[in-house]
Structure 1
Amino acid sequence: MDIPLSGRQRPVAPPHAVGAAAIATYGLLVLIIATVFAAIDRQILVLLAEPMRQSLQLSDTKLGLLQGAGITLFSGLAALPIGWLADRYGRRSLLAICVLVWAAATAACGLARDFPSLFLAAAGLGIGEAGLAPIVYGLIPQIVSARRRVLANGVYALAAIFGAGLGITLSGAMVGQLELLRPLLPPSWQDLEPWRLAFLAVAAPGPLVALAVLLVRLHPQREGLRQAAPSAALSLLPYSRAHGRTMATVFGGSGMATLGLAAGSMWLPIIAARHFGAATADVGRGIGLAYLLGTAVGALAGAAGVKLLGGRLGPALPVRVVGVGAAVAALAAAAMPFAPDASSLYALFGVQVAALIAGSVLVPTLLQDMSPEALRSRVIAVGTALSVLLSALSPVLVGAVSDLLQATPAGLLAAAAGVGALAFALAAGLMFAAERPYVRTVRAVHPELG
Structure 2
Amino acid sequence: MENVGNVLHAVGIRKGARYRAWLLLLLSLIYASSFIDRIFIAVVGQSIKVDMNLTDLQLGVLGGLAFSLFYASLGIPMARLADRMNRITLISVSIVAWSVMTVLCGTAGNFMQLLLYRLGVGIGEAGSTPTAHSLISDEFPEGRRATAMAIYALGPPLGAIGGAIGGGWIAQHFGWRPAFWVVGVPGLILGIIAYLTLREPERGAMDRVAAVNAERNSSLRAIVAILARSPLFLQLLFGTVIGAFAQYGINLFIPAYLTREFGLNAAQAGMIFGLTIGVGGAIGTTFGGWLADKRGATDPRWYAWVPGWGTLLGFVPLALAFLQSDWHVAAALIFLATILLSSWNGPTFAAIHGLVAPRMRATTSAFVFLLMNFIGQGGGPAFIGFLSDHLAARLFAGGDYAKVCHFARGAHGAMGAALDSPLAHACADASSSGLRYAMLSMCVLLVWAAFHYLLAVRHVAKRC
TM-score w.r.t. the length of structure 2 is: 0.80
Are the aligned partners of 2:167 and 2:183 in contact in 1 as well (CA < 8 Å)? no
Match of 2:24 among 25, 28, 32: 28
State the 1:225 CA deviation: 7.0
2:449 pairs with 1:431: no
Distance 1:221 1:325 in 2: 33
2:181 pairs with 1:197: no
Question: For each residue in 1:28-49, what CA deviation from the matched residue of structure 2 results, as whole angstroms up to 9, or x when unmatched?
Answer: 2210110111111122211000
Are the aligned partners of 2:28 and 2:151 in contact in 1 as well (CA < 8 Å)? no
Distance 1:52 1:221 in 2: 45
Instruction: Tell me the residue number matched to 2:329.
Output: 344
Instruction: Tell me the residue number matched to 1:239.
Output: 226
Match of 1:394 among 380, 389, 394: 380
Q: Secondary structure at the match of 1:111?
A: coil
Question: For each residue in 1:120-160, what CA deviation from the matched residue of structure 2 results, as whole angstroms up to 9, or x when unmatched?
Answer: 111111222233321111111234467754543343334x2
Instruction: Tell me the residue number matched to 1:87.
Output: 83
State the 1:64 CA deviation: 1.2
Instruction: Tell me the residue number matched to 1:214.
Output: 195
Q: Secondary structure at the match of 1:231?
A: coil
Instruction: Tell me the residue number matched to 1:326.
Output: 311
Q: State how 1:353-364 maps to structure 2 within 5 Å.
A: 353-364=338-349
Q: Which stretch shows the higher mean deviation, 216-225 or 48-57? A: 216-225
State the 1:88 CA deviation: 1.7
2:302 pairs with 1:317: yes
Q: Secondary structure at the match of 2:264?
A: coil
2:438 pairs with 1:415: yes
Distance 1:352 1:197 in 2: 32
Letter of the 1:210 partner, please give it: G
Q: Which stretch shows the higher mean deviation, 66-75 or 168-177? A: 168-177
Are the aligned partners of 1:80 and 1:378 in contact in 2 as well (CA < 8 Å)? yes
Letter of the 2:117 partner, please give it: A
2:188 pairs with 1:166: no
- Contiguous gaps of at least 5 residues in structure 2: 1-10, 394-429
Match of 1:123 among 111, 119, 131: 119
Match of 2:109 among 109, 113, 126: 113
Q: State how 1:23-102 maps to structure 2 within 5 Å.
A: 23-102=19-98
Are the aligned partners of 1:263 and 1:417 in contact in 2 as well (CA < 8 Å)? no
Letter of the 1:346 partner, please give it: A
- Greater share of residues in helix: 1
State the 1:233 CA deviation: 3.6
State the 1:309 CA deviation: 5.1
CA separation of 1:117/1:282 partners in 2, compared to 1, >3 Å: closer, same or farther? same
Q: Secondary structure at the match of 2:138?
A: helix
Question: For each residue in 1:416-444, what CA deviation from the matched residue of structure 2 results, as whole angstroms up to 9, or x when unmatched?
Answer: 1211x12211111111122233444xx4x
Distance 1:145 1:211 in 2: 28
CA separation of 1:287/1:382 partners in 2, compared to 1, >3 Å: closer, same or farther? same
State the 1:229 CA deviation: 4.8
Distance 2:211 2:315 in 1: 40
Are the aligned partners of 1:63 and 1:399 in contact in 2 as well (CA < 8 Å)? yes
Q: Secondary structure at the match of 2:83?
A: helix
- RMSD over equivalenced CA pairs, Å: 2.9
Letter of the 1:204 partner, please give it: V
State the 1:113 CA deviation: 0.9
CA separation of 1:154/1:278 partners in 2, compared to 1, >3 Å: closer, same or farther? same
Distance 2:83 2:69 in 1: 22
Question: For each residue in 1:320-346, what CA deviation from the matched residue of structure 2 results, as whole angstroms up to 9, or x when unmatched?
Answer: 111111111222232233111222222
- Contiguous gaps of at least 5 residues in structure 1: 1-14, 180-193, 444-449
Letter of the 1:86 partner, please give it: A
Distance 2:13 2:185 in 1: 36
Are the aligned partners of 1:298 and 1:355 in contact in 2 as well (CA < 8 Å)? yes
Letter of the 2:359 partner, please give it: A
Instruction: Tell me the residue number matched to 1:280.
Output: 266
State the 1:17 CA deviation: 11
Letter of the 1:265 partner, please give it: N
Are the aligned partners of 1:71 and 1:125 in contact in 2 as well (CA < 8 Å)? yes
Distance 1:74 1:213 in 2: 24
State the 1:381 CA deviation: 0.8
- Number of paired residues? 410
CA separation of 1:197/1:399 partners in 2, compared to 1, >3 Å: closer, same or farther? same
Question: For each residue in 1:350-392, what CA deviation from the matched residue of structure 2 results, as whole angstroms up to 9, or x when unmatched?
Answer: 1221112233343342232232211001111111111112212
Match of 1:257 among 243, 254, 260: 243
CA separation of 1:142/1:299 partners in 2, compared to 1, >3 Å: closer, same or farther? closer
Instruction: Tell me the residue number matched to 1:5.
Output: none
Q: Which stretch shows the higher mean deviation, 90-99 or 354-363? A: 354-363
